[in-house]
Each structure stands twice: as C-alpha cells, then as structure tokens.
Amino acid sequence: MNITIDYILIALLSYVIGSIPFALIYVRLLLGKDMRQFGSKNTGALNTLRIVSHEKGKKWGIPSFLFVFLLDAFKAVLAVIIAMYFIESQALAITLGTFFSILGHNYSAFLKFKGGRGAASLMGVFLYFNPIVFIGWIGLVLCFMFLVEIFMGGIISKKFFKNAVSEQIIGRVLGEIYAVWWISIFAPVLFYPALLGTFLIVIAHKDRIENQIKKIRAKKYFND
C-alpha cells in the first residue's frame, strides 16, 4: 500500500479512537445526565470529577476521575501502538497517533466536533513511553500553577492550593509550554508529540484563559 495512504489511514483511525467520549458515556450511565450541560461542559476527566463529586460526593468523584482519566489516556496509547505497528519510524508513529487522538478527543466526530481538552490523552503517552517524563510534566505544570498564583497575589492557605489547581489556567498553560522544552532535552522522541499535543491543549483552553484575564483586569480573580 502507498505509504502516504498508510499515514492518512493511521491519522483517521487515531482520530476515531480519540473521538470516543468515555467521560460522556460514563456520566450518563452513572447519573443519567448529559455532562455537557454541567460544570465546564467539556467531556473530560476533570469535569467528570466536578459533576460526580457534586452528585455523589468525593468518594465517588475521585475514583470516577481516575477511571475516566485512564480511559482517555488509553485512547492515545492505543492509537500510538497501532501507528507503530504500521509505521517504521517510531518518532513519526508516536507523533501521528498522539496528535490525531487528541484532535479526536477535543473535536469528537460523535459530539458535533466538541469534546474535552486533551491533557489526559497526552499524559497517557508520556506515562506509557517514559514515566519519568510523566512525573516531570506534572511537577512542572503544578510548579507554574503555584508560582503564577503567588505572583498574582495569592496567599498561602488551604484555599490557595485548591484555587491554584482548579482555576489557575494561565499558570497551567505556561507550565505545559515550558514542559515541551524540558521534554526536548530529556526525551527527544516525545518532543513533537508534546509540541503538537500541547498546541491542541492550549487552543482548547482559550476560553478559560480569556475568562481568567477578564477576572484579573476586573480585580475579581480572588473574589470568586
């Protein structure tokens, strides 16, 4: 088969795999609700945590988050494994599988091209190929979230950590972008998957970034 056709088919298959809305299916089965009507309205693990915790408490919310996170991570890993079976270049296979599975997750063909934000899928690829990169990525993102929260005037407290993790989108995005450079040094084979995956994740956070900037300008960020 023509090598170009192979690449196109792998890209399409990865997109379809990524499009499977595990979070939406899970929340509908568990609560009988359409999660697109609640919380952040996106179909990802974090919104699953918000919705299930609100309805059933954190004893259900946290396991539900982990379950959906693993399923979304698995989608990208499966797409990459299939790509590696058909494509000789490991770097190209990982890049194609990662990018198009995240594209499917964020713009699902089954949800009128809407979806989640893709972080769990990208993290799944990191965890599968290099657990140290996975841990380092999380650490860098958290550090940036806390540092930017402090820079904006946050006072260290129990509420500070909760707010930094759940609301500090600018810090999170900066951390994810910085992590791409870090990955280019410590795991070069994951550089392009990280770069393109982060690009999709940042685009998916555009509305939340704009919302945080508006709150900061109106001096309402720490008053919500």
Q: What is the pLDDT of residues 126-148, one digit of tens each?
A: 999 999 999 999 999 999 988 88
Both tokens of 11, joined, read 């890209």
Q: How do residues 36-73 score in pLDDT, each as one tens digit? A: 999 888 999 999 999 999 999 999 999 999 999 999 99
pTM of the model: 0.91
**Domain coordinates of the chain in residue numbers?**
1-127, 130-224
* CA distance readout (Å), 92 to 31, 84, 153: 40, 8, 43
